[in-house]
Amino acid sequence: MVPPGRGTDSPNLLASIDFGQGLSGIYDFNQAGAARNPMMPRRLLVHGDEGEISGDQVVRLGDNGLITTSYLTRLPTGAEPGVVSQIRLGDHVLWSNPWPTMSWGDTELATAQLLTNVAEWLKGEAAQPYSLSEAIWDARLGLAISQAVHEDRPVEVPENNERMEPWTPIKPIQPIQPPNTGPSQSWTSGSV
């Protein structure tokens, strides 16, 4: 963790991900431990056909045809700072903490929920929550981003339905030109 008031010279890892069919994503991560750095708050930006989520703000086309803005609200349990009891969008409860008496942060809650879902699946009470093939695919994308960084070139990951084994080498594609980001930022290209 970077102490408050101290800077870092660790680069940001920025990769563009082309999922095909007009779908794309940007992977932007500070390698200095931004996930736990109080000077670097969470950022989330999702663009979709029907609206956008930016941080806790949701802008979308409402049922009446008007553009509406609402906010995601994290309600604390009151027991401990940072522990959430519910997440709401306006007056709609999107998620309630099944373990409100536990002092768990987001990571622990997500892990507990995944393990609960796996237990239900194993008992035949629910669909498989996160398949091995999905996990391998996600890991493959992470490896492709890493490969693009280390080889300083874009890489292509074959379609998941091509039944490629996760250890199959990733094919190089034509390099793309990075934007001019200025002297104080680093930029790494990876088209995966």
92-133 tens-digit pLDDT: 999 999 998 888 888 899 999 999 999 999 999 998 888 777
Note whether 105 and 82 are within 8 A (CB): yes
pLDDT at 166 over 50: yes
Q: Hey, what amino acid is at 68?
A: T
Q: pLDDT-based confidence at 185, cuts 50/70/90? A: very low
Note whether 154 and 148 are within 8 A (CB): yes
Phi-psi sector, 20: left (phi>0), alpha (psi -120 to 50), beta? left
- How far apart are alpha carbons 107 and 97 in whole angstroms? 13
Report strand pairing: 45-48 vs 23-30. unpaired
Note whether 144 and 192 are within 8 A (CB): yes
Note whether 103 and 110 are within 8 A (CB): no
Averaged pLDDT, 132-152: 85
Domain boundaries, the chain: 1-41+131-192
